[in-house]
Amino acid sequence: MIDFKRQLESLMMPLTVELFGDHGVAIDLQETRKEFNADFTLVVFPFLKFSKTSPEKTAEIVGSKLSTELSEINNFSVVKGFLNLNLSQEFVSKIFAGIESEKNFGITAANNTQPSVMVEYSSPNTNKPLHLGHIRNNLIGHSISNILKASGRNVVQVQIINDRGVHICKSMWAWKKFGNNETPEKSRLKGDHLVGKYYVLFDQEYKKQVSEKMSKGISEVDAKKSVACILEVQKMLLDWEAGDPEVVKLWKKMNEWVYSGFNETYQRLGIEFDKNYYESETYILGKSDIEEGLKRNIFFRKEDNSVWIDLTNDGLDEKIVLRSDGSSVYMTQDIGTAIQRFKDFEIDSLTYVVGNEQDYHFKVLFLILEKLGYKWAKRLHHLSYGMVDLPTGKMKSREGKVVDADDLLDEMESTAKQMSTELGKANSLSSKESQMLDKIIGHGALKYFILKVDPKKRMVFNPDDSVDFNGNTGPFLQYTHARISSLIRKAGFQKSIDLSDVHWNEKERDLVLGLSKFPEVIHNSAIDLNPSHIANYLYEIAKSFNSFYQKHSVLSAESKTISAYRLALCVQVAGVLRRGLNLLGIDAPEKM
């Protein structure tokens, strides 16, 4: 894949060496600010030490040299010491020819001989259905996986399902007490919704029992520890760990309900995993690694027999890794699971997509693995993302005050249908096509609204703002793609064009140069693990196309030649929009 910016920089380098000598000064080409009419800006300040003159004069010297000796440069201007460069028509044509020559411009095919990268995301609990917070996690993880693949990496997508612990037993206890053998089939509820219902019922019963004890003069702290329901849940957990057949049977049954429900939601989101890890299996991992670390004095044992690591010299604190009874903590499991994953797959890095409330946990985890001597620990990453709030505030799972993922997807489809009907977007479509379009637009609106925000930022999600056919939204990009697709269909057969005589106008040049940035945007998104780079780039491309299309006709252009190359340009814009949206997990409709 040709990087035209780097190619231009390499052409400029020997000319600056001729002017100022070989001092190892790199050529730094940057995008020109929008208020200036130029294609690139060359920063000349690094040359001042050798030019021994002012920034303006240095820029004039460099600009004259480049425009005289490089056919790629048409002219230049100097603004406050910055050298603004305009590319020649021939070089713009060369750039477009390079874009056209690649079937999947921007996408780098994976090299199957290289080790893979692993991305862990989703990681739900089996006591409740997926909610809006899970949706942000899943969309980020899936998009990052797509972007890494598009940058040439092999990717393994995994999740760890938190299917054990006291929270699972709470749903089990409530089902036994209140369920009357209710099943997903009897209730016509998705399995994860049914189990989540009993998690909420437990919380209600728990609060009721605590209130009753407090009314008898018992303190809130003591009441919360001693109510019957919590004691019975704790016993249920011990029975599960001891392998009690009745408890294990109920645990398996309810978890299967949840897995089935999760898979339905994943399918709606277009997400699948290469491997599922289960906490009920991984919680035993890590203990042998801790024992080995004890022998090497990486860990130490306290008087109560618990095992710790002292990280105070690393700016952290002491961290427990085994309880006094020898049982694991989450850190133990995560140590063992990380090691197991590098055994299970030929990977050279692992990225955890987990909310920023776990920042400290991952600092400790990565440091422990490094101290245990695993070289790959340096290639562990925590993609720390911000929480999603609603206009009304935070979500609360125990109280049932969450935005359920399935309900949200239904709402997005319904909102898309309403807006499409009002705007007449589906008038020419069959009922089946219209229903599919509602899904494509609704899901696209949700995904784009979430992914256009930098993952590190906390965000507020408002469904009404996301489904809009104008502005920085998924439907706007989808409509732009559909509009171009319609144009291509009307044009019919496209023959190859001769670019040698093309005179690119300003709007066309903007599109060509905008398209040429696509590979670099993918590369930077993969490096930064940030899908918002892709999303906001696509918005700029769509705006650039619509600005061009409002001013210039394609099918009724001044000549057949102009019509042909403008149509060829439209084809490439549609391709970049389609591939870019696909990286975000969004479908690009042909009709809309």
296 assigned to some structural domain = no
pLDDT for position 433: 83
> Over the stretch 11-56, which tens digit does the pLDDT of each residue have?
999 999 999 999 888 898 998 888 888 999 998 999 999 999 999 9
172 in the same domain as 76: no
Domain harbouring 563, CATH code: 1.10.730.10
Give the number of domains in the chain: 3
> Over the stretch 226-264, which tens digit does the pLDDT of each residue have?
999 999 999 999 999 899 999 999 999 999 999 999 999
- If pLDDT is split at 50, 70 and 90, which confidence band does 451 have? very high
188 in the same domain as 42: no
Q: What is the extent of the structural domain holding 77?
A: 4-87
566 in the same domain as 437: yes
Answer with the one of 248, 272, 296 that is the final residue of a domain. Answer: 272
- Look at the block and give the residue holding tokens 């890494």: 148
Using alpha carbons only, what angle is made at residue 575 by residues 571 and 581, rounded to the nearest 5 degrees? 145
539 in the same domain as 414: yes
User: Residue 370 is encoded by which pair of tokens?
Assistant: 């490094």
Domain harbouring 40, CATH code: 3.30.1360.70
How far is Cα 284 from Cα 324, in angstroms, rounded to an integer?
16
Amino acid at residue number 325: D
Query: Lowest-confidence range among 112-116, 336-340, 401-405, 450-454?
Result: 401-405
pTM of the model: 0.91
Helix (H, G, I), strand (E, B) or coil at 47: helix
Helix (H, G, I), strand (E, B) or coil at 317: coil
389 assigned to some structural domain = no
317 assigned to some structural domain = no
144 assigned to some structural domain = no
Asked if residues 200 and 192 have their Cβ atoms less than 8 Å apart, the reply is no
39 in the same domain as 169: no
Asked if residues 126 and 397 have their Cβ atoms less than 8 Å apart, the reply is no
Element (H, E) at 381: strand 380-385
Answer with the one of 218, 249, 272 that is the final residue of a domain. Answer: 272
Strand ranges inside 32-97, DSSP E: 40-43, 73-79, 82-87
DSSP assignment of 227-259, as one string?
Answer: -HHHHHHHHHHHHHHTT-HHHHHHHHHHHHHHH
- How many residues in total does the chain contain? 592
First vs last Cα of the chain: how many Å apart? 33
Answer with the one of 222, 237, 272 that is the final residue of a domain. Answer: 272
171 in the same domain as 83: no
Query: Lowest-confidence range among 386-395, 446-455, 514-523?
Result: 386-395
Query: Lowest-confidence range among 423-427, 481-485, 546-550, 553-557?
Result: 423-427
Return mean pLDDT, the chain.
92
Nearest-CA neighbor of 119 among 148, 92, 84, 145? 145
170 in the same domain as 77: no
- If pLDDT is split at 50, 70 and 90, which confidence band does 2 have? low
